[in-house]
Amino acid sequence: MAKPIHNGLAVEHKTLTPAFSDARGDIFDLLEEKVGHVGMITFTKGAVRANHYHRESTQYSYVLEGKIRLTTYAVDGSQKEETILVPGSFSRIPPLYVHRYEALEDSKILDMTTLSRTDDGYEQDTVRITNV
Protein backbone atom coordinates (compact mmCIF):
# COMPACT_ATOMS: atom_id res chain seq x y z
CA MET A 1 0.00 0.00 0.00
CA ALA A 2 2.89 2.39 0.58
CA LYS A 3 3.91 4.58 -2.31
CA PRO A 4 7.48 5.58 -3.16
CA ILE A 5 7.96 8.98 -1.62
CA HIS A 6 9.66 11.88 0.07
CA ASN A 7 12.38 11.16 2.68
CA GLY A 8 11.75 7.43 2.38
CA LEU A 9 8.37 7.73 4.15
CA ALA A 10 4.92 7.44 2.64
CA VAL A 11 1.40 8.49 3.42
CA GLU A 12 -0.47 5.21 3.81
CA HIS A 13 -4.19 4.50 3.64
CA LYS A 14 -5.95 1.23 4.32
CA THR A 15 -9.32 -0.11 5.36
CA LEU A 16 -8.98 -2.08 8.55
CA THR A 17 -10.56 -5.47 8.92
CA PRO A 18 -11.13 -7.27 12.20
CA ALA A 19 -8.14 -8.98 13.75
CA PHE A 20 -10.61 -11.23 15.57
CA SER A 21 -14.34 -11.87 15.23
CA ASP A 22 -16.83 -14.06 17.02
CA ALA A 23 -20.48 -13.95 18.09
CA ARG A 24 -19.72 -11.13 20.57
CA GLY A 25 -18.38 -8.80 17.86
CA ASP A 26 -15.09 -7.68 16.33
CA ILE A 27 -11.67 -6.57 17.55
CA PHE A 28 -9.76 -4.13 15.33
CA ASP A 29 -6.04 -3.55 15.87
CA LEU A 30 -5.57 0.14 15.13
CA LEU A 31 -1.98 0.85 16.03
CA GLU A 32 1.05 -0.96 17.40
CA GLU A 33 3.35 2.06 17.81
CA LYS A 34 4.08 4.55 20.58
CA VAL A 35 1.75 7.54 20.61
CA GLY A 36 1.78 10.68 22.71
CA HIS A 37 -1.81 11.70 22.11
CA VAL A 38 -5.15 10.15 21.22
CA GLY A 39 -8.13 12.39 20.58
CA MET A 40 -11.48 12.41 18.86
CA ILE A 41 -12.31 15.10 16.31
CA THR A 42 -15.78 15.88 15.02
CA PHE A 43 -16.57 17.67 11.77
CA THR A 44 -19.71 19.34 10.50
CA LYS A 45 -20.37 18.93 6.79
CA GLY A 46 -18.13 21.31 4.85
CA ALA A 47 -15.68 21.87 7.71
CA VAL A 48 -11.98 22.02 6.87
CA ARG A 49 -9.46 21.01 9.51
CA ALA A 50 -5.69 20.66 9.79
CA ASN A 51 -4.10 22.20 6.68
CA HIS A 52 -0.72 21.87 8.34
CA TYR A 53 2.25 19.56 8.67
CA HIS A 54 4.34 18.31 11.57
CA ARG A 55 8.10 18.65 11.74
CA GLU A 56 8.60 15.45 13.78
CA SER A 57 5.29 13.84 14.68
CA THR A 58 3.57 11.10 12.72
CA GLN A 59 -0.22 11.43 12.67
CA TYR A 60 -2.69 8.56 12.42
CA SER A 61 -6.39 8.94 11.64
CA TYR A 62 -9.16 6.38 11.96
CA VAL A 63 -12.62 7.30 10.64
CA LEU A 64 -15.48 6.38 12.95
CA GLU A 65 -18.34 8.11 11.10
CA GLY A 66 -18.95 10.10 7.95
CA LYS A 67 -16.99 10.84 4.80
CA ILE A 68 -13.87 13.00 4.55
CA ARG A 69 -11.64 14.12 1.69
CA LEU A 70 -8.02 13.95 2.86
CA THR A 71 -5.51 15.88 0.76
CA THR A 72 -1.82 15.21 1.45
CA TYR A 73 1.43 16.32 -0.13
CA ALA A 74 5.10 16.58 0.79
CA VAL A 75 6.25 20.00 1.99
CA ASP A 76 8.16 20.42 -1.28
CA GLY A 77 4.82 20.18 -3.14
CA SER A 78 5.40 16.68 -4.52
CA GLN A 79 3.38 13.52 -3.92
CA LYS A 80 -0.02 15.26 -3.88
CA GLU A 81 -2.86 12.83 -3.24
CA GLU A 82 -6.57 13.10 -2.50
CA THR A 83 -8.25 10.19 -0.75
CA ILE A 84 -11.86 9.75 0.34
CA LEU A 85 -12.00 8.34 3.86
CA VAL A 86 -15.05 6.45 5.14
CA PRO A 87 -15.72 4.53 8.37
CA GLY A 88 -12.95 1.99 8.85
CA SER A 89 -10.36 4.02 6.89
CA PHE A 90 -6.98 4.31 8.58
CA SER A 91 -4.28 6.76 7.47
CA ARG A 92 -0.67 7.20 8.52
CA ILE A 93 0.78 10.64 7.75
CA PRO A 94 4.53 10.94 8.34
CA PRO A 95 6.32 14.15 9.31
CA LEU A 96 6.78 16.78 6.59
CA TYR A 97 3.48 15.95 4.84
CA VAL A 98 0.80 18.61 4.64
CA HIS A 99 -2.61 17.17 5.48
CA ARG A 100 -6.01 18.79 5.02
CA TYR A 101 -9.33 17.21 5.97
CA GLU A 102 -12.60 18.36 4.36
CA ALA A 103 -15.81 16.85 5.71
CA LEU A 104 -18.11 15.75 2.89
CA GLU A 105 -20.71 14.97 5.56
CA ASP A 106 -20.84 15.18 9.35
CA SER A 107 -17.91 13.04 10.47
CA LYS A 108 -15.91 11.77 13.43
CA ILE A 109 -12.32 10.49 13.59
CA LEU A 110 -9.86 9.19 16.12
CA ASP A 111 -6.67 11.25 15.84
CA MET A 112 -3.37 9.89 17.17
CA THR A 113 0.04 11.56 17.11
CA THR A 114 3.46 10.41 18.21
CA LEU A 115 4.02 13.65 20.15
CA SER A 116 1.91 14.82 23.05
CA ARG A 117 -0.41 17.81 22.77
CA THR A 118 0.46 18.94 26.31
CA ASP A 119 2.32 22.18 26.98
CA ASP A 120 3.33 23.76 23.68
CA GLY A 121 5.08 20.79 22.06
CA TYR A 122 2.27 20.24 19.56
CA GLU A 123 2.27 23.88 18.48
CA GLN A 124 6.06 23.94 18.13
CA ASP A 125 5.86 20.84 15.92
CA THR A 126 2.97 22.13 13.79
CA VAL A 127 3.44 24.37 10.75
CA ARG A 128 0.19 25.85 9.45
CA ILE A 129 -0.36 26.39 5.72
CA THR A 130 -2.09 29.66 4.88
CA ASN A 131 -1.72 29.89 1.10
CA VAL A 132 -4.32 27.24 0.20
Residue 87: which of 104, 99, 112 has the closest Cα?
104
Three state DSSP letters for the chain: CCCCCHHHCCCEEEECCCCEEECCEEECCCCCCCCCEEEEEEECCCCEEEEEEECCCCEEEEEEECCEEEEEEECCCCCCEEEEECCCEEEEECCCEEEEEEECCCEEEEEEECCCCCCCHHHHHEEECCCC
pLDDT band of residue 132 (cuts 50, 70, 90) is low
Domain extents for the chain? Answer: 35-128
pTM equals 0.85
Q: pLDDT tens digit string along 88-130? A: 999 999 999 999 999 999 999 999 999 887 777 778 899 999 8
Q: pLDDT tens digit string along 33-75? A: 899 999 999 999 999 999 999 999 999 999 999 999 999 999 9
User: Which architecture does CATH list for 35-128?
Assistant: Sandwich (2.60)
